[in-house]
Amino acid sequence: MDGPILVIDRGGGRRVGEQLVDGLRRGILDGALRQGDPVPSTRALAAELGVSRSAVVAAYEQLAGEGYLEMRQGAPTRVAELDHAHAHGHERSGHHRGAARAHAPAVGVPPESVAPRIDLLPGRPSTARIDTRAWRAAWRQAAALDIPSNSPPPFGVRHLREEIADHLRHARGVACDADDVVVTAGTSEAVGLAASALTSIVGRAPVIAVEHPGYPSARRTLERRGARTAPVAVDADGLVVDALRRMPQVPDAVMVTPSHQYPLGGRLPVAARLELLEWAGSAGAVVIEDDYDSEFRHLGPPLPALASLDDGGGVVLVGSFSKVLTPWLRLGYLVLPQSQALREAIDDIRADEPCPVPGVVQDAAAALLASGAVRRHIAVTRRDYAHRRRLVLDALDGIPGAPLSGLDGGLHAVVRLPGHAASAAVVAGLAAEGIAVASLGDYSAVPGDEEPGIVFGYAGPGDTQLAEGLARIRAAILAVV
């Protein structure tokens, strides 16, 4: 670049940050800052303009959010290739349970529309109605306790384990004991812990059957902990138990989402549940039951958790407060069967890698659960989500060639689409309008066997945003069917 990019006017009353953002944006649109080129380092630009470095950082961040700049950790910040810019949606969407992490907007879209305005990626609950008085009181209570000089106990703080057992009895009908509960940093840590425990028990890389399509993050987490995963087909009812029997190698474990198959939404019927348990018993396999959103059941009675049907002692229940409260809390749990091998393996791991949930968080969560605020919040959000689910049905049900499904429970829905081109066009078109949804193909556990469609969450945004998002989803679908 020759000459200054912009000049800061200190007399004109406009804030420095605003001037920075406007000047840089203009420079990019003018071509003074060329697409794909690195921008000056924040240090250099701050020095050149005589402004604080943090003002430059903030300006870059805003422009990255607007899609003008591309920030990749570890790489210099660059001017985005505006014609085929990628929205690197991490700070916004790094959280979702789904797969798609960045969506390529359509060609020629003005950059203003690149940053997702309406985040419909699955996995986000509504936090707007959390009882903030109870929330603050719980933290205040926890912060007032003595500060121990050790790590939290390996399986978690006792009174939290009791409250979680209680919560599972009430919200989920799972009869378990505090002794059976292991506190975890959300579902992903629970899944990793289970995989590490299995690896240590079988003394080699365990083979873990996973649903196809299924939760890709969990699959990769299992693999990162030394397991090999093997896909098992899913139908409208969830996992196909017969497919487990046909596997060339008997797996050491199967990870399953019986309450609300992720992402397709099937609910495993009781007969299939019993069949699955029978298979597991005879195969000597552990069942990892991922019960990620079963607190929210909209249609049909909740079915008993596998863990509560099991008398062979091979079901590990995995759950979290990510949907019930917020993934911001990073709080989940494992409920262990009466398997001494699993307990000892987890005990050994946690002796090396202490329970990662901070003691204060455990104390605060226990206080919040004990206050009844969580139970009330579930009741309130259940109504909210039922209403939003209605909005989804009103907007998207019955479009020929684009069947809507997955809405019996949980916080997300699936629309199947006729072909991959249609699917890609819908995802990209919505992204270009600032609406983030996931692509169903990203959930495939078998490369080359991707189903066309979209997956989206409907719990996170407010009603107005959701209504707009749904209208745009409808329009995008109608354009391709």
Select from 120, 130, 367, 374 the one that contacts its own copies (CB under 8 A).
Answer: 130
- The length of the chain in residues reads 481
Contact string 12-51 vs its own copies (x = CB under 8 A): ----------------------------------------
E-only strand ranges, 283-330: 286-290, 315-320
Cα–Cα distance for residue pair 351/104, rounded to 1 Å: 44
Residue 76 phi, psi dihedral angles, 5° rounding:
-65, 150
Select from 90, 169, 245, 387 the one that contacts its own copies (CB under 8 A).
Answer: 90
CB of 12 to its own copies, least distance (A): 29
Whichever of 155 and 456 has its CB closer to its own copies, that residue is: 155
Say whether residue 166 binds its own copies (CB under 8 A): no
Say whether residue 465 binds its own copies (CB under 8 A): no
Identify residues 190-209 at the interface with its own copies (CB under 8 A). Answer: 192, 196, 199-200
Identify residues 358-377 at the interface with its own copies (CB under 8 A). Answer: 358-361, 364
CB of 320 to its own copies, least distance (A): 11
Select from 142, 160, 280, 436 the one that contacts its own copies (CB under 8 A).
Answer: 142
Cα–Cα distance for residue pair 71/309, rounded to 1 Å: 49
Identify residues 247-276 at the interface with its own copies (CB under 8 A). Answer: none
Say whether residue 70 binds its own copies (CB under 8 A): no
Residue 19 is encoded by which pair of tokens?
């001037």
Whichever of 30 and 352 has its CB closer to its own copies, that residue is: 352
Select from 35, 65, 151, 403 the one that contacts its own copies (CB under 8 A).
Answer: 151
Select from 93, 113, 308, 381 the one that contacts its own copies (CB under 8 A).
Answer: 93
CB of 347 to its own copies, least distance (A): 6
Name the segment binding its own copies (CB under 8 A); options: 107-115, 178-186, 379-387, 433-441. Answer: 178-186
Cα–Cα distance for residue pair 352/61, rounded to 1 Å: 38
Select from 2, 31, 75, 301 the one that contacts its own copies (CB under 8 A).
Answer: 75
Q: Using the structure block, give the residue that is written with the tokens 């200054």.
A: 4
123: Cβ contacts below 8 Å, ≥ 6 apart: 95, 96, 97, 98, 322, 323, 327, 411, 412, 457
Reading phi first (left if > 0) and then psi (alpha if -120 to 50, else beta), residue 13 is in left
Say whether residue 149 binds its own copies (CB under 8 A): yes
3-state secondary structure 323-382: CCCCHHHCCEEEECCCCHHHHHHHHHHHHHCCCCCCHHHHHHHHHHHHCCHHHHHHHHHH
Identify residues 212-241 at the interface with its own copies (CB under 8 A). Answer: 216-218, 220-221, 224-226
Cα–Cα distance for residue pair 452/442, rounded to 1 Å: 10
420: Cβ contacts below 8 Å, ≥ 6 apart: 441, 450, 452
Select from 14, 26, 34, 140 the one that contacts its own copies (CB under 8 A).
Answer: 140
Identify residues 98-127 at the interface with its own copies (CB under 8 A). Answer: 101, 124-127
Prior bond to 263 cis, omega within 30? Answer: yes
Identify residues 295-334 at the interface with its own copies (CB under 8 A). Answer: 322, 326-331
Q: DSSP states of 92-116 as a string?
A: HHTT-SSS--EE-PPTT--GGGTS-
Identify residues 338-357 at the interface with its own copies (CB under 8 A). Answer: 338-344, 347, 349-357
Say whether residue 420 binds its own copies (CB under 8 A): no
Say whether residue 133 binds its own copies (CB under 8 A): no
Select from 186, 206, 258, 453 the one that contacts its own copies (CB under 8 A).
Answer: 186
Say whether residue 96 binds its own copies (CB under 8 A): yes
Cα–Cα distance for residue pair 290/306, rounded to 1 Å: 10
Identify residues 444-463 at the interface with its own copies (CB under 8 A). Answer: 460
3-state SS, residue 287: strand
> How are the residues of the chain apportioned to helix, strand and coil, as percentages rounded to the nearest 5?
45, 15, 40
Whichever of 159 and 416 has its CB closer to its own copies, that residue is: 159
Cα–Cα distance for residue pair 220/215, rounded to 1 Å: 9
Q: DSSP states of 43-94 as a string?
A: HHHHHHHT--HHHHHHHHHHHHHHTSEE--TTS--EE--GGG--EE-HHHHT
Select from 22, 83, 179, 242 the one that contacts its own copies (CB under 8 A).
Answer: 179
Say whether residue 469 binds its own copies (CB under 8 A): no
